[in-house]
């Protein structure tokens, strides 16, 4: 099966913020296991989730893995994302769609925060 990966982010009216998500998502596409990757946005950016799914299916994906670019499970992941997926499944009943956990709880998150704190220390004058 060809897995299409969708990085699902909130989105922003500031396009450079959306582009930052796209840049991070490209790391996934560098893994030979995931040649089909798209980024989508809930609000404030394009494409939306249905558009990203359409793109991946047109490129050969026959199942979709949604990776939320959110820190925690909040309203968008409890309500909005399931609603969007339900609508997609109405139109594409034969397309398996799976959603991963958000970033919260990932073993690497603490190390990232520690690195940012260390960078912050370096920014203070001696």
CATH of the domain at 36: 3.40.50.1400
- List of the chain residues with pLDDT < 70: none
The number of beta carbons lying within 10 Å of the beta carbon of residue 67 is 21
Asked whether 10 and 42 are in contact (CB, 8 A), the reply is: yes
pLDDT for the residue 108? 93
Domain residue limits at 82: 3-123
In Å, how far from its chain's centre is CA 33?
17
Q: How many domains does the structure of the chain reveal? A: 1
pLDDT for the residue 74? 84
pLDDT for the residue 126? 73
pLDDT for the residue 114? 94
pLDDT for the residue 111? 94
- The model carries a pTM of 0.91
Residues 6+ apart with CB under 8 A from 68: 8, 9, 77, 81, 99, 100, 101, 102, 103
């Amino acid at each position: 099966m060809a897995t299409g990966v969708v990085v699902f982010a909130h989105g922003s009216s500031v396009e450079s913020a959306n582009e930052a998500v796209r840049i991070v998502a490209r790391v996934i596409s560098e893994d030979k296991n995931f040649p089909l990757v798209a980024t989508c946005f809930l609000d404030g950016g394009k494409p939306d989730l249905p558009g990203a799914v359409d793109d991946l299916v047109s490129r050969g994906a026959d199942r979709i893995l949604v990776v939320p670019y959110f820190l925690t499970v909040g309203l968008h992941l409890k309500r909005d994302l399931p609603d969007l997926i339900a609508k997609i499944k109405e139109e594409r009943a034969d397309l398996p769609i799976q959603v991963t956990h958000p970033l919260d709880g990932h073993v690497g998150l603490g190390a990232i925060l520690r690195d940012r704190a260390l960078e912050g220390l370096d920014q203070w004058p001696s």
